[in-house]
Structure 1
Amino acid sequence: MKRNRIIPLIMATVLFMSLSSFHGGLANAVEADPPSAPLSPTFKYPEEIVVKFKPHVDIPYQNQIDAEVKALQDPSLHAALTQVPQLNFSRLFSILDNNSQSLFSAPGNLSVFEQYYTVSIPDGANMDILLKQFKDSPLVEEAYIKPQPVMAPSIPLTPNSTPVQPDDDPNYPLQGYASPAPSGIHAPYAWQFEGGDGKGIKWVDVEQGWAFNHEDLVNHAIPLLPGSLNALYFGHGTAVLGQVAAVDNTIGNIGLASKAQPFASSQHRTNYTYNTAEAIIVAANTLSAGDVILLEAQTSYPTASGYIPIEVYPAEFDAIQYAVNRGITVVEAAGNGNVDLDRFQTVDGKYILNPNHPDFRDSGAIIVGAASASLPHKRMGFSTHGNRIDAYAWGSWDVHTLDAVDANSTTGYMKDFAGTSAASPIVTASAISMQGIAKATFGTPYSPAELRRLIKSAAYNTPTADPARDKIGFMPNLREMIKNLKAPGSVPHDIIAPLAPTGLVAAATAQDNVTLTWDATTDDVTLVGYDIFVNGNLLPSAWTSSTSATLHSLNPGTTYTITVKARDGSNNLSEASAPLSVTTVKSSICSNNEWNASTAYLNGHQASYNGVLYQAKWWSQNQRPDQNSGPYAVWSIVQSCSAAN
């Protein structure tokens, strides 16, 4: 099909391999010298650049558009094509053609995805130079290196594939995450009501592989959506399905939303590419308003020290927003990277995942972190965190669910699923239960924005031990949300900030730190904690749930201007407190200069001993200054340390 819009992201197309149907294997390549098939988690696709053209660029959405790109007569693009004549531009989304679109109904505006292309990188080409040339083009909106597959967002452990024999004692008592709050989400309370078990709701698990014929799943007849390959991490996908969808059949586990209809959409596509954004689009086009997508993915990123949410990449962000705009709730794993999203910056220096920064962009997804199963719940050290995180659930090695050794497994259970991908299905099931009850009770579901407000609300849900420092939101408490059930369209939006803190003082100062205290303030819903700002920086230097904090790593003898703001559960920040000017203690000439018996001192060298500064008049070693000072001794007194500033 033709289009009169420019196609933005140039990601290298990954049309390399042929995947072997739905049983997890990749078969023979369709191009010369292909990479090895993704039979293990270490598999990598060839590197590509994704290019998103600006909307006014007039090129067709098809493969092999090198000539059309040259005809644009843009100097930056011309330089790239001149430098590497064999560059190959292809569609990022193979589903957006007449033949593929016939596979599913696609209401909604898909035109933004027709701005995305991929560019394969030939051997020997300088990717950094090419990326800069694409970014420099006034016709290009975004350009970035296409993300590679990474491990699914759970803590990898040896799967427990021991089959569970059906008996009169099913595994539900082991599923502590279903228990009443504050321990779990109180799923049995939701099961009492029509729709609370997921009836009437569809959901799609987006990841890499599953065992659909597992004895606790087979009755669902779970469809693998068109364009998908059941490729990798079969145990991971089966565990996720088990938490939400395990059939209530007395065999093993019980899914938290067992009567919802599950689907699967793979990040590995049958046109031999890895494309999370496309998997999300296909999922969205399968569902209706009120349904749910679980995005069991995490990603690496050039500026991140660990795994972060997949929406950091523009194509995936646009795909999530596309689903949300269709009324579909997207639940997204935060990733197991221990990254502070408030401080995370893109390669362009943008704080896109900090909700209190001007750079922030909101996909509308519910992002999920991981906490301990034990009380009080604490953020797991591996969990990515930040004020963008909406909710958390169990992510320690305590989640009992299904397991699989390959795509053909029919039995298998594990007791130690973990990570943000163990937490995300629990939050997903909570979302499904609330939508099922809303549809049954009111005849219409919540909007994604309303449902997110319910699930992240501090008024209903379970906090961690230290919400201000953990920064992973709240764990859903279905009982409280249902007891205070709001009709769709009437879920309040908290836009009232807390009152500004008062009484800010410096309780103690030292050379490199300052301890602060202030008076507690209030919020109309729930106060979460306080952010401390230094010298007007947009990013806080510290945060706390209490009314005191110590700022470390300061410079001696330096004046700092400090303010404090209060934060509520909806990330509303108060006005700043009255500024406090604090000067750290000056460093002393005696600091770190204690006399040492083994040190050889030369003429002019200084050393302190018992609060007095001395100076050597000639070579000296092992001669204590206080015993060897005077007109005819090696040491002379300079002054007391307290005066030596």
Structure 2
Amino acid sequence: MTKASFLKFHVTPTVLLGLSLLAAPCAEAAKVLEPRLSTVKPTTPELDEETPVQRLVVKFHEGTRVRLRGGVMQILSEERDADERGRMQRHHVTDVRLNTDVSELQRMVQNKARGRRPERLFREPESTLAARKHLAEELSGKEMADLDLYYELPLEPGMQAADVNELVMQLNALDSVEIAYAEPVSWTASVSAWDARGNATASYELKQGYLDAAPVGIDARYAWSVPGGRGQGVRLIDVEGAWNSRHEDLPAFFYWGGEQLQGVDWRDHGTAVMGVMVGQDNGYGITGIANGAMAGRQGIATQSMASAIQHAARAAGRGGVVLVELQAPGPKTQKGCACNLSQCNYVPLEYWRANFDAIAQATAHGVHVVEAAGNGGADLDDAAYHGAFDRAVRDSGAILVGASSATGHVPMCWTNHGSRVDVHSWGEKVVTLGFGDLSGLGENRGYTDSFNGTSSAAPIVAGAVAALQGAAFAAGKGPVPPREMRALLRTTGTPQAPSSKHIGPQPNLRRALQQVLAR
């Protein structure tokens, strides 16, 4: 994704089991919802002992209605409705057991808290979370997670998995806890590869091969000839660490959410991502794929990734696009990687349950979520992930993006791959903003020709999604449902090169637009 190895986000090891139908009450009549499947708790620690972690995440079972009041977890049993009682009974949790477990949990974390108390993982008002959950269920016909059952315990800087692995296993042993995990620090999904040169600001658009017609590029220039094909009317929000909003080639952001991380590497990464998607069409520098879209940013410095996704999805709205640009270290499925060793076994953020639930709710609301598949060289079909990336087990509705060579659509050595990866795009030699190796005229005028990783591939796909949605809006077709958009990209794209690593096709906007406009 970037030129460094950043992806630092929190993830929840979660997998879904079993199927059963549950009748959920609606305003006028009972509606049968597709059940939300339970998470498989780990039986042994999943993270290497030296993995940096930043918080503990705990989720109680659905229906338990554990709420934070005055900084203390309380059980509001008298507020449960029939649906919640049914979900709680499904997991064989009684109030007696729940009371015991909540007390035990608070005792367990006291030593690690160092005076701090558990906090809500999702910071929006309870009424807002409840309303969005209900609407998502109505729109999707699927049970959604009660996000108010997620809690976090911030950890001190510098802590590693070894410091909390025993506590995580103790928390998972509590019957009332659906899942507990240590959230690893997230990093950008970029791969280093750059040198230093200096040139005057010029137009680099002709160097942006990913804009070219298929099979090399996604045919963005054709999309620009179609009304709405520059992403007009679409809100596109990047979720990650930081951006340089003063760069000469970026538009004004319509939305500023969260706080930024400090550091030029973070700013360069976010700026490069934004350039690929919304760099201005102004005759100099580069031109973004969806340069007519409204750009926004959601920082993660003071909140979890799951919370950031939730906020971004609300701001993007139905038909909007949320880009998840980070990755984090997951289970060690490989003892070693053939390349990019520093990010070996890094996985997409939806592996962790809180992130998955936030994404699933976003797509249920009609928000397109584009997610970097990560640079860990991992086969996401590996049994070690317990079906977390198996659509037959669970499906967040996100578009997962792998990375290929700039020519030939050959999977990059380090790209994650597997049946869950939907599409791919350039994972190397992407010309965009930031870093300064193409034009080193200061941070506000810096450009690069070597933005790499699934960090470069994912914004190309996000820009394509915004272009397609903009054309649909302009033609009066309305919002394209997220799963329909995902299927469209897969069926109309340019195939990857033959390989044992499945990364899907690269978007072909010319072919996809023909189908969008024929809807």
Q: What is residue 368 of structure 1 aligned with on the other side?
A: 401
Question: Of residues 320, 325, 339 in structure 1, which corresponds to 2:359?
Answer: 320
Q: Distance in 2 between matches of 1:186 and 1:76?
A: 56
Q: What secondary structure sits across from 1:165 in the alignment?
A: coil
Q: Is the 8 A contact 1:366 1:452 kept in 2?
A: yes
Aligned residue in 2 for 1:546? none
2:507 matches 1:476? yes
Q: 5 Å matches for 1:35-114?
A: 47-62=54-69, 64-65=71-72, 81-82=106-107, 85-86=110-111, 88=113, 89-93=117-121, 95-97=123-125, 108=135, 112-114=146-148
Aligned equivalents of 2:481, 2:54: Cα separation in 1: 38
Displacement of 1:51: 0.5
Residue correspondence of structure 1 range 123-162 to structure 2 within 5 A: 127-150=164-187, 152-158=188-194, 162=198
Residue 207 (str. 1) matches residue 240 (str. 2): yes
The CA distance in 1 between the partners of 2:154 and 2:430, in whole Å, is: 41
Contact 1:153–1:296, Cα closer than 8 Å, also in 2: yes
Q: 2: distance between equivalents of 1:84 and 1:485?
A: 52
Calculate the aligned-residue CA RMSD, in Å: 3.3
Supply the AA of the counterpart residue of 2:169: K
Q: Give TM-score scaled by structure 1 length.
A: 0.60
User: Aligned partners of 2:456 and 2:223: how far apart in 1?
Assistant: 20
Q: Which residue matches 2:475?
A: 441
- What is the aligned counterpart of 1:402 among 425, 433, 440? 433
AA aligned opposite 1:377: H
**Whole-angstrom CA distance in 2 between matches of 1:58 and 1:288:** 28
Q: How big is the shift at 1:148?
A: 1.2
Distance change >3 Å, CA 421–CA 435, structure 1 → 2: same
Report the counterpart of residue 316 of structure 2 in structure 1: 287
Tell me the equivalent position of 1:496: none
Contact 1:10 1:92 in 2 (8 A): no
Q: Is the 2:101–2:176 Cα contact (8 Å) retained in structure 1?
A: no
Is the 8 Å Cα contact of residues 161 and 403 (structure 1) preserved in structure 2? no
- Give the 3 Å change call, closer, same or farther, for CA 214–141 of structure 1 in structure 2: same
Check conservation: 2:210, 2:430, Cα contact below 8 A.
yes
In the TM superposition, 1:393-472 aligns within 5 A as: 393-396=425-428, 398-404=429-435, 409-457=443-491, 460-466=492-498, 469-472=500-503
Distance (Å, rounded) in 1 between the aligned partners of 2:294 and 2:163: 47
Matched, 1:179 2:233: no
Shift in Å at residue 147 of structure 1? 2.1
Deviation at 1:133, TM superposition (A): 2.2
| Shift, 1:409, TM fit | 2.8
Residue 189 of structure 2 contacts residue 453 of structure 2 at CA under 8 Å; is this kept in 1?
Answer: yes
Residue 277 of structure 1 corresponds to 306
Please say if residues 324 and 448 of structure 1, whose CA atoms lie closer than 8 Å, have aligned partners that are also in contact.
yes
Tell me the residue number matched to 1:519.
none
Q: Which of 316, 330, 334 is equivalent to 2:369?
A: 330
1:425-481 Cα shifts (integer Å, max 9, x gaps)? 111111111111111113402100110000011xx21111205x2300000111122
CA pair 231-487 structure 1, distance change in 2 beyond 3 A? farther
Residues 7-36 of structure 1 show CA distances to partners (whole Å, capped at 9, x for unaligned) of xx999xxxxxxxxxxxxxxxxxxxxxxxxx
The structural deviation recorded for 1:75 is 5.3
For residues 399 and 111 of structure 1, the distance between their equivalents in structure 2, rounded to whole angstroms, comes to 38
SS in 2 for 1:249: coil
Deviations for 1:464-513, whole angstroms, at most 9, x for unmatched residues? 1205x23000001111222344555xxxxxxxxxxxxxxxxxxxxxxxxx
TM-superposed deviation, 1:326: 0.9
Offset at 1:190?
0.9
Superposed counterparts of 1:446-525, under 5 Å: 446-457=480-491, 460-466=492-498, 469-485=500-516, 487-488=518-519
Deviation of 1:187 (Å): 0.9
- Is the Cα–Cα contact under 8 Å of residues 107 and 285 in structure 1 kept in the other structure? no
Residue of structure 1 in register with 2:26 after alignment: none
Q: TM-score, normalised by structure 2?
A: 0.74
CA deviations 1:290-312 (Å, max 9, x no partner) are 11111111111133441111000
Q: 1:229 maps to what in 2?
A: 260
Which residue, out of 321, 326, 337, partners 1:297? 326
Unaligned runs of 5+ in 1: 1-8, 12-43, 489-645
Task: Point out the more displaced range, 298-307 or 236-245.
Answer: 298-307
Which protein has the larger Cα radius of gyration, Structure 1 or Structure 2? 1
The amino acid of 1:96's aligned partner reads E
Secondary structure, aligned partner of 1:345? helix
Distance 1:363 1:296, change over 3 A: same
Aligned 8 A contact 2:11 2:352 in 1: no
Residue 448 to residue 94, structure 1, CA distance change in 2 (3 Å): closer
- The answer to whether the 8 Å contact 1:395/1:420 transfers is yes
**Aligned partner (choices 351, 373, 384) of residue 387 of structure 2:** 351
How far does residue 230 in structure 1 lie from its aligned partner after superposition?
4.6
* 2:425 paired with 1:389: no
CA displacement at 1:268 relative to structure 2: 1.5
Given residue 479 of structure 1, which amino acid in structure 2 is its aligned partner? R
Cα distance between partner residues in 2 of 1:417 and 1:238: 11
Compared with structure 1, are the counterparts of its residues 94 and 229 closer, same or farther at alpha carbon in structure 2 (3 Å cutoff)? farther
Q: For each residue in 1:168-214, what CA deviation from the matched residue of structure 2 results, as whole angstroms up to 9, or x when unmatched? A: xx211100111111111111111111011111111001111111111
Q: Deviations over 1:367-425 (max 9, x none)?
A: 00000112x320000100001100001112x211111479x931011011111111111
Residues 96 and 114 in structure 1, CA contact (< 8 A), matched pair in contact too: no
- SS of match in other structure, 1:216: coil
Query: Is 1:378 aligned to residue 417 of structure 2?
Result: no
Distance 1:201 1:10 in 2: 28
Q: Deviations over 1:550-603 (max 9, x none)?
A: xxxxxxxxxxxxxxxxxxxxxxxxxxxxxxxxxxxxxxxxxxxxxxxxxxxxxx
Partner AA of 1:313 in structure 2? W
Code of the aligned partner of 2:511: E
Q: Deviations over 1:60-119 (max 9, x none)?
A: 235632687999665555555556644554224352237x979xx999469721010123
Equivalent residue, structure 1, for 2:340: none
Question: Does the CA contact (< 8 Å) of 1:345 and 1:352 recur in 2?
Answer: no
Q: Which one scores higher on RCO, CA 8 angstroms, separation ≥ 6?
A: 2
Task: Tell me the number of residue pairs that the alignment of Structure 1 and Structure 2 aligns.
Answer: 424
Contact 2:298-2:312 within 8 A present in 1 as well: yes
Richer in helix (by share): 2
Rate the CA distance shift 1:331–1:341 in 2: closer, same or farther, 3 A: same
Summarize deviations over 1:603-622 as a string: whole Å, max 9, x none. Answer: xxxxxxxxxxxxxxxxxxxx
Q: Is the 8 A contact 1:161 1:413 kept in 2?
A: no
Question: Could you tell me which amino acid in structure 1 is paired with residue 165 of structure 2?
Answer: D
Structure 2 CA distance for aligned equivalents of residues 184 and 245 of structure 1: 17
Q: Is the 8 A contact 2:401 2:454 kept in 1?
A: yes
| Aligned-partner Cα distance in 2 for 1:46–1:309 | 16
How far apart are residue 54 of structure 1 and its match? 1.2
Distance 2:320 2:239 in 1: 14
Once the two structures are superposed, the pairs formed by residues 227-266 of structure 1 within 5 Å of their partners are 227-232=258-263, 233-266=266-299
